[in-house]
């Protein structure tokens, strides 16, 4: 068994200014105001487009991102309609030859900080008896034990002759998966609005809040309002 934290990345380098200029050129076609384009006019124009609600203009460009997360999160991601998805398949990927990789739940971050080794922590927890009564450590041991047994059962079923698509029945939502998502910028805004909300599942919310920050830095102006809404600055 191996534990990792979820993550995301762009599939290709993002030229934010080129994207903004492309959207500006398309948008100004509506008003035949191309003569007002300057080297620095794109960000302000795109912000006005968003404020006016003329959001079809930002559909002229798409972005692709790769998410390394758990199966539960991807089950929610693929509910979005205006996207292309390519996901690691548990039908065809055989996990019997290596440690099966699982995703660390974000609500367990209080037990171990990012610089620490998740797998050393798991080994130490599993080596101890389950404590009596309710406790974070007790819950962590139950969770990690379930992962250990699901890995053993999966590999045992393969040894009995089951195929990967049959043996996967015992794998949990915590199983690591990778998914590439391509969507236009309007749809990305919709995804962030839903998945960064306080009502979203904590695992997908943590992933999408991190992605929102990255998208905003990569393409200035098109996600600033969402950053202000979901990623307020901490006052020093």
The whole-number pLDDT of residue 62 equals: 98
Give the percent of the chain with pLDDT over 90. Answer: 89
pLDDT tens digits, 20-50: 999 999 999 999 999 999 999 999 999 999 9
148 in any annotated domain: yes
Closest by CA position to 102, among listed 2, 170, 179, 6? 2
Q: Is the pLDDT of residue 233 over 80?
A: no
61 in any annotated domain: yes
72 in any annotated domain: yes
What domain range is 106 assigned to?
1-185
Domain with 46 in it: what CATH number?
3.30.1360.170
Q: Is the pLDDT of residue 234 over 70?
A: no
221 in any annotated domain: no
207 in any annotated domain: no
55 in any annotated domain: yes
In which band, very low, low, confident or very high, does the pLDDT at 192 lie, cut at 50, 70 and 90?
A: very high
DSSP string of 88-136?
--TTT---TTSPPEEEPPGGGGGGS-TTS-HHHHHHHHHTSPPPSSS-H
Compute the average pLDDT of residues 208-230: 97
Q: Is the pLDDT of residue 235 over 80?
A: no
In which band, very low, low, confident or very high, does the pLDDT at 133 lie, cut at 50, 70 and 90?
A: confident
Q: Which residues are catalytic?
A: 195
213 in any annotated domain: no
Query: What whole-number distance in Å separates Cα of residue 208 and Cα of residue 230?
Result: 10
The whole-number pLDDT of residue 28 equals: 94
191 in any annotated domain: no
The count of domains in the chain is 1
Compute the average pLDDT of residues 15-19: 97
DSSP for residue 9: E
Q: Which residues contact 216 (CB under 8 A, 6 or more apart)?
A: 222, 223, 224, 226, 227
The whole-number pLDDT of residue 115 equals: 83
pLDDT tens digits, 149-187: 999 999 999 999 999 999 999 999 999 999 999 999 999
* Range in 111-115, 117-121, 169-173 with the lowest mean pLDDT: 111-115
């Amino acid at each position: 068994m191996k534990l990792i934290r979820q993550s995301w990345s762009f599939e290709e380098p993002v030229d934010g200014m080129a994207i903004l200029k492309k959207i500006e050129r398309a948008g100004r076609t509506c008003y035949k105001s191309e003569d007002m384009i300057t080297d620095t006019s794109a960000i302000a124009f795109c912000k006005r487009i968003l404020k006016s609600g003329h959001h079809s203009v930002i559909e002229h460009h798409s972005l692709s991102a790769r998410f390394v997360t758990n199966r539960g999160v991807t089950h929610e991601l693929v509910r979005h309609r205006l996207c292309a998805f390519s996901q690691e398949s548990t039908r065809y990927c055989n996990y019997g030859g290596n440690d099966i990789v699982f995703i660390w739940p974000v609500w367990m971050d209080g037990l171990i900080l990012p610089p620490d080794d998740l797998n050393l922590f798991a080994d130490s927890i599993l080596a101890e008896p389950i404590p009596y009564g309710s406790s974070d450590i007790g819950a962590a041991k139950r969770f990690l034990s379930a992962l250990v047994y699901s890995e053993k059962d999966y590999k045992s079923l393969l040894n009995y002759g089951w195929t990967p698509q049959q043996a996967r029945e015992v794998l949990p939502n915590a199983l690591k998966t990778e998914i590439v998502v391509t969507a236009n910028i309007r749809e990305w805004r919709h995804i962030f609005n839903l998945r960064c909300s306080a009502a979203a599942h904590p695992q997908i919310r943590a992933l999408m809040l991190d992605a929102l920050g990255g998208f905003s830095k990569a393409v200035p102006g098109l996600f600033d309002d969402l950053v202000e809404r979901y990623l307020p600055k901490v006052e020093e």
